[in-house]
Amino acid sequence: MSSGFTFRPTSSSSSSSSSSVTRVYTKEDNVRRYCAGGIHRPSSTCGYRRWGIPSGMDSTEDTRCSYCMDKHIVDHLNITCKTATHFQSICCDSFRDMNIRAIQFRGFTVTVSAYLPEINEERPVFLVPGERAKATELGLGIFAMPTKTNYRIHVRKNEAIYGNDVMFTLKARIGDKPVVINRGENIYYTTTADITGMTSGADDSFLFTAETAAAKASGNIPQGYNESNKFYLTLNVYHRERPKPVKKMYHFESRGGGRGGGISLPCYGLSSSSSSSTNGPSGGLGSDTFGMESATDDECSTFGGGYTGGSTGSGGLNVKRVDTQTFTDKTTLIQTVEIAGQIVCDQTDAEIASDNAKYNMKDLFAQREVAKTKKALIEEYERNLVVLQNAITEKRIELATEQVKLDQLTTKYKPELDKLQTVTAAGAIGGGGMDTETSHTSQKSGMIIID
């Protein structure tokens, strides 16, 4: 990266208190920590009670969730706060504004999203207010999110600038560690590149974690803290020379050379940089505008907390490989674009302590459930083993009983058996003598006849 790129200093929030946590981390806990996103859903199920309407607009055109108001993602002074009660379709329109959520630099748009495994959904993550100009001027974005967030990085090429015949390769690193995609093979991306973890094909997704002031003071922080929360992207942009058609047949002549030949090309085509941006109708509440009530000042209060750094560790989720296909077209390097980002935490010290504890309890609860399952399996195997051992014992008893009966019968009929054996033996001997005597008699008879 250019030496002119500097990162925002990270400091702990002024609050240092922590709250004790006695329950596990629930799906509802996690959902409310983020923007509601652009997927339309009933207000009764989205988890957000307060909604804002930008000045000069109505609820059919634009609505913003309480997260975006509380975190000053939107200018809360120009927002009319309402309490949503029973909308059948509502969403937060903050995700549409790339000026508040994306690095837009030299023909590329880089966004960061939070992935919620509990509901298999991505939510938009926003640039820190006051630092957004750097995203356009320097290609440097500072994104704010809660601690214990699974996050993903999306890179999109601007088709209006580059067109269809321009591709790009990607090199990424988190802190000083390189991201390995498809074992490091050279991939040309046509439109979008999604970076979801350190190593594709492994359970090594990105997980952002912030620590409390007490943890940092005691040195109880992960290695690479305040370094592994930074990402660096190097994008090499290439022009692709497609084969020219020959005559009027649907045939293309082969033109090798350049960087073509066996190069991998992602085949997932045009994919959205955020799953939430392609779902549901666009804008506000649609035609359903009932169920909005004025909220009290307390309900619409906002806070302006500070930001603290953090680290990226493994979230343990599977990182999918990129599906590719090969091409042999000639490519020419146009330019190299470098973009960097930093992840910071937008929570107070008490919130960090609470959420870290809840997350750890969630992991502990999951481990206990796994342990319970293993214990149940072991107990089942032990029960089955006892049943088998009992069956073997019963068979051995039956065999021993039959052997006793056999011994008794043998003892009872031994005299008869002995006699039978003697008679059999004697009969065999006697039968041999009779044959000899008969032979002699025949001879004698013959002699008498001759006389």
pLDDT of residue 162: 93
Domain containing 435 equals 413-450
* DSSP assignment of 243-263: PPBPTTSS-B-----TT-SSE
Are 98 and 183 members of one domain? yes
pLDDT of residue 365: 66
Which domain-ending residue is among 373, 396, 424?
A: 373
pLDDT of residue 25: 55
Helix, strand or coil, per DSSP, at residue 370: helix
Cross-sheet strand order for the sheet of 50-54: 64-65, 50-54, 79-84, 292-294
Average pLDDT estimate for 402-426: 84
Angstrom distances, CA of residue 279 to CA of 75, 275, 276? 25, 7, 6
Are 172 and 76 members of one domain? yes
Contact (Cβ atoms closer than 8 angstroms) between residue 197 and residue 319: yes
Cα distance between residue 357 and residue 351, in whole Å = 10
pLDDT of residue 52: 85
Are 368 and 421 members of one domain? no
pLDDT of residue 271: 28
Average pLDDT estimate for 244-270: 39
- On whether residue 12 sits in a domain, the answer given is no
Are 277 and 326 members of one domain? yes
pLDDT of residue 85: 62
- On whether residue 431 sits in a domain, the answer given is yes
Cα distance between residue 142 and residue 231, in whole Å = 10
Are 313 and 445 members of one domain? no
**155 compared with 305, residue with greater pLDDT:** 155
Tokens describing residue 32: 């409310």
**347 compared with 50, residue with greater pLDDT:** 347
**DSSP element (H, E) containing 390:** helix 349-412
Residues pairing with 313 in the sheet? 207
| Nearest CA-CA partner of 204 in 152, 133, 132, 130 | 152
Rg of the Cα trace of the chain? 40
Contact (Cβ atoms closer than 8 angstroms) between residue 243 and residue 255: yes
Are 242 and 324 members of one domain? yes
Are 176 and 226 members of one domain? yes
The answer on pLDDT for 398 being more than 50 is yes
Are 246 and 316 members of one domain? yes
pLDDT of residue 42: 75
Are 196 and 135 members of one domain? yes
Angstrom distances, CA of residue 2 to CA of 138, 170, 249, 340? 9, 17, 50, 10
**214 compared with 14, residue with greater pLDDT:** 214
Are 369 and 418 members of one domain? no
What's the mean per-residue pLDDT of the chain?
A: 77
Share of the chain above pLDDT 70, in %: 71
Give the tens place of pLDDT for each residue, 295-319: 443 444 444 458 999 999 999 999 9
Give the tens place of pLDDT for each residue, 44-90: 666 677 888 888 888 888 888 888 988 888 886 678 877 766 567 78
Angle (CA) 276-280-285 rounded to 5° is 110
Tokens describing residue 380: 């089942």
- On whether residue 5 sits in a domain, the answer given is no
Average pLDDT estimate for 89-98: 89
Question: How do beta strands 140-145 and 330-345 pair?
Answer: parallel
| Nearest CA-CA partner of 85 in 56, 120, 117, 44 | 44
- What domain count does the chain have? 2
pLDDT of residue 368: 73
Give the tens place of pLDDT for each residue, 23-34: 555 666 678 899
Which domain-ending residue is among 373, 404, 430?
A: 373
Whether pTM exceeds 0.75:
no
- On whether residue 264 sits in a domain, the answer given is yes
Are 341 and 440 members of one domain? no
Cα distance between residue 96 and residue 284, in whole Å = 11
- Cα atoms found within 13 Å of the Cα of residue 260, Cβ hemisphere only: 16
Helix, strand or coil, per DSSP, at residue 174: strand
Are 83 and 210 members of one domain? yes
pLDDT of residue 104: 96
Amino acid (one-letter) located at 157: K
- On whether residue 18 sits in a domain, the answer given is no
Helix, strand or coil, per DSSP, at residue 193: strand
**366 compared with 336, residue with greater pLDDT:** 336
| Confidence tier at 361 by pLDDT (50, 70, 90) | confident
**448 compared with 343, residue with greater pLDDT:** 343
The answer on pLDDT for 128 being more than 90 is yes
Which domain-ending residue is among 373, 396, 431?
A: 373
- On whether residue 163 sits in a domain, the answer given is yes
Contact (Cβ atoms closer than 8 angstroms) between residue 359 and residue 148: yes
